[in-house]
């Protein structure tokens, strides 16, 4: 509605506008990726004309092909380890992981990277949108700012069999004590929590105190 006297333009919206939920371009790309790769959604797309129309609309703005290359863009997964800085769901602190990427997949949370955690010798998944930095290991080790955040931890070994799961290069053993170096305090705390049954933290004291607080809080919840 145009009010020429007051020189105003008035917009009248339906109350339904307030119920609209906005999504960003990253979430739209996740939808495009899922509709392009998930077997169940591929079948649904063929059966449902509305979904197919929505997918065709997204295809105008997203593509798996590089605009600079004539061929489809493939992820350059190599045998060389890379270092990622990752923020877990429910946390605001980043954790570093040395990994070897395996594949990209999709689930209800979005696009995930499946990779081998080299230090723990286990397969893990990482939400792409929560990876905040990627570098090769050599770059990280040369970065003095990152190096000063490293933390050395002494563990008292409980389960001897656990050593079979570890790469011998990541620890030094003296008697029943294991010495490991982590990229950050958050890495060390996360590792200690996951391996409570395999060894106890001896030092540093602040890590031991933080771990004990977590255990006490858990016991109170039980």
The partner residues of 28 in beta bridges, in order of sequence, read none
Output the pTM of the full model: 0.44
Report pLDDT digits (tens) over 117-149.
Answer: 887 778 888 888 888 887 765 555 444 344 446
- Place 154 in a pLDDT band, splitting at 50, 70 and 90: very high
Task: Please compute the mean of the pLDDT values over residues 36-45 and round it to a whole number.
Answer: 78
The predicted pLDDT at position 22 comes to: 65
The partner residues of 96 in beta bridges, in order of sequence, read 85
The mean predicted confidence, pLDDT, of the chain is 76
The predicted pLDDT at position 34 comes to: 76
CA–CA separation, 23 and 179 (whole Å)? 46
Cβ partners under 8 Å of residue 154, min gap 6: 177, 178, 179, 201, 202, 203
Q: Which range has highest mean pLDDT (49-58, 80-89, 187-196)? A: 49-58
Parallel, antiparallel or unpaired: strands 8-9 and 82-87: unpaired
């Amino acid at each position: 509605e145009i009010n020429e006297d007051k020189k105003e333009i008035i917009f009248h919206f339906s109350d339904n506008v307030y119920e609209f939920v906005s999504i960003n371009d990253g979430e739209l790309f996740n939808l495009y990726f899922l509709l392009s790769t998930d077997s169940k959604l591929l079948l649904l797309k063929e059966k449902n004309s509305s979904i197919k129309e929505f997918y065709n609309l997204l295809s105008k703005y997203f593509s798996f092909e590089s605009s600079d290359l004539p061929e489809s863009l493939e992820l350059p997964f190599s045998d060389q380890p890379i270092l990622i800085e990752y923020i877990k769901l429910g946390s605001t602190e980043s954790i570093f992981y040395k990994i070897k990427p395996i594949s990209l997949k999709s689930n209800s949370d979005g696009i995930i990277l499946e990779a081998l955690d080299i230090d723990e010798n286990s397969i893990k998944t990482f939400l792409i949108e929560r990876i905040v930095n990627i570098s090769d290991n050599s770059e990280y080790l040369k970065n003095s700012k990152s190096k000063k955040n490293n933390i050395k931890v002494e563990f008292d070994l409980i389960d001897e069999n656990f050593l079979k799961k570890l790469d011998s290069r990541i620890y030094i053993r003296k008697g029943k004590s294991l010495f490991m170096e982590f990229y950050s305090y958050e890495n060390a705390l996360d590792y200690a929590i996951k391996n409570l049954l395999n060894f106890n933290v001896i030092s540093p004291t602040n890590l031991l105190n933080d771990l004990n607080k977590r255990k006490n809080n858990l016991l109170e919840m039980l």
